[in-house]
């Protein structure tokens, strides 16, 4: 049975003030709680020592601070990639991945359990959509990552190279990418609430430019994002230079073909003046030829954009192959010769199925690993 107590991470500050007022508490108590949740990263009401004992006890009895159950934590890349498997209310599972670099720390979070988009190279798409996550469930994944870094910073637990890697820039969470399980624009309202909550200067206070959302190319979401006040970064999964191939790889293209997608992208760039990233997963002999690179360069000509090339990571049962390194570099060279800014993404988490395209939630009772598509912002 799902817990029906209010989940505090689902509450904006005004909503939290209303809840506290209904409890007979002044508004400043809500602000104290909000600061404890987002700035102090309190994991339990008992840690909120600036609150009266009676209020802490009521919070413990009548509200939830945690709805995600951590089932498994795996590490790779000398423990600098940390993948958490969470069970969410209702029994589904999602994953979040924390990546620690010398100059930054990035968390990739999920916005849905499962995914309805059906991309052939992605394990998550085989699940179908299980359910949307609430704003609080999305936010809580970010809070987990921030607490994880705090523990590494203050306790030195679980990180073999802490002293040499946790620089001032990477000892706190610097970036959030909404590139985990699901299509964020298919859960737009709740996803955007999480963006606003994380950006709130009175709370987590993460800069808008420190957040990136990835979409398979949902045109209505791109146009809607162009009108939002917060200038978060946009990444679009493209993966093919023509409609025939893209429709074969990504069913969304039948609804929003490349011409319509690029028209929306041009509108977005014109309104926001912001560069768009295109993600391109390379599959041996399918979309990785020099001719296809040249075609892609022609398609993207004149756009304020950058291309992230992503060598495909194997998904069990998928009849696809990973592009050889020489083909990846040749593809990159041709794109660059076309005047398109282009990089090959640094791979992280392959050993624990945390790399791009490898994640697909499965029942944890089977002992199998939950996996969810992620793509890391460079």
**Which residues are annotated as catalytic?**
95, 356
Place of tokens 């916005």: 111
Contact 350, 310 (CB under 8 A): no
Contact 104, 174 (CB under 8 A): yes
Q: Which residues contact 168 (CB under 8 A, 6 or more apart)?
A: none
- What is the rounded CA–CA span in Å between residue 33 and residue 26? 12
Phi first, then psi, for residue 300 (nearest 5°) are -95, 0
The per-residue b/e assignment along 17-34, b for 16 or more CB within 10 angstroms, e otherwise, is bebbeeeebeeebbbbbb
Other C-beta atoms closer than 10 Å to the C-beta of 68 total 22
- What is the rounded CA–CA span in Å between residue 129 and residue 329? 35
- Could you give the angle at the alpha carbon of 185 between the alpha carbons of 15 and 172, nearest 5°? 65
Phi first, then psi, for residue 246 (nearest 5°) are -65, -40
Quote the radius of gyration of the chain (alpha carbons, Å): 21
Contact 117, 216 (CB under 8 A): yes
Contact 206, 238 (CB under 8 A): no
Written as six digits, the tokens of 22 are 């209904």
CA separation, residue 124 to residues 74, 120, 289, 374 (Å):
19, 10, 26, 10
Q: Are strands 175-178 and 81-87 parallel, antiparallel or unpaired?
A: unpaired
Q: Which residues contact 313 (CB under 8 A, 6 or more apart)?
A: 322, 347, 350, 355, 356, 357, 358
Closest CA to 352 of 83, 21, 165: 83
Contact 377, 106 (CB under 8 A): yes
The per-residue b/e assignment along 227-237, b for 16 or more CB within 10 angstroms, e otherwise, is eeeeebbbbbb
């Amino acid at each position: 049975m799902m817990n029906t107590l209010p989940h505090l991470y689902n509450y904006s500050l005004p909503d939290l003030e209303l809840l506290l007022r209904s409890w007979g508490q002044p508004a400043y108590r809500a602000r104290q709680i909000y600061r404890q949740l987002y700035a102090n990263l309190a994991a339990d009401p008992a840690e909120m020592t600036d609150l009266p004992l009676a209020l802490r006890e009521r919070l413990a009895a009548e509200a939830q601070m945690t709805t995600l159950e951590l089932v498994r934590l795996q590490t790779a890349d000398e423990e600098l990639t940390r993948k958490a498997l969470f069970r969410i209310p209702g029994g589904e599972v999602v994953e979040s991945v924390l990546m620690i670099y010398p100059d930054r720390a990035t968390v990739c979070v999920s916005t849905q359990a499962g995914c309805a988009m059906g991309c052939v190279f992605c394990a998550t798409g085989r699940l179908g959509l299980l359910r949307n996550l609430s704003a609080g469930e999305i936010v809580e994944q970010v809070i987990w990552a921030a607490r994880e870094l705090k523990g590494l910073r203050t306790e030195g637990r679980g990180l073999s190279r802490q002293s040499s890697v946790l620089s001032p820039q990477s000892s706190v969470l610097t970036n959030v990418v909404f590139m985990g399980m699901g299509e964020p624009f298919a859960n737009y309202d709740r996803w955007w609430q999480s963006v606003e909550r994380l950006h709130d200067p009175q709370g987590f206070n993460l800069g808008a430019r420190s957040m990136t959302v990835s979409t398979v190319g949902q045109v209505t979401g791109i146009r809607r994002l162009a009108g939002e006040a917060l200038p978060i970064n946009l990444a679009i999964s493209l993966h093919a230079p023509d409609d025939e191939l893209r429709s074969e790889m990504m069913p969304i293209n039948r609804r929003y073909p490349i011409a319509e997608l690029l028209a929306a992208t041009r509108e977005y760039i014109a309104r926001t003046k912001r560069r768009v990233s295109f993600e391109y997963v390379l599959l041996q002999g399918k979309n990785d030829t020099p001719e296809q690179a040249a075609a892609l360069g022609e398609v993207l000509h004149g756009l304020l954009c950058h291309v992230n090339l992503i060598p495909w990571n194997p998904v069990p049962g998928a009849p696809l192959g990973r592009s050889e390194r020489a083909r990846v570099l040749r593809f990159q060279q041709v794109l660059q010769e076309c005047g398109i800014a282009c990089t090959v993404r640094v791979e992280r988490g392959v050993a624990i199925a945390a790399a791009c395209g490898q994640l697909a939630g499965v029942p944890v009772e089977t002992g199998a690993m939950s996996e969810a598509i992620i793509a890391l912002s460079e």
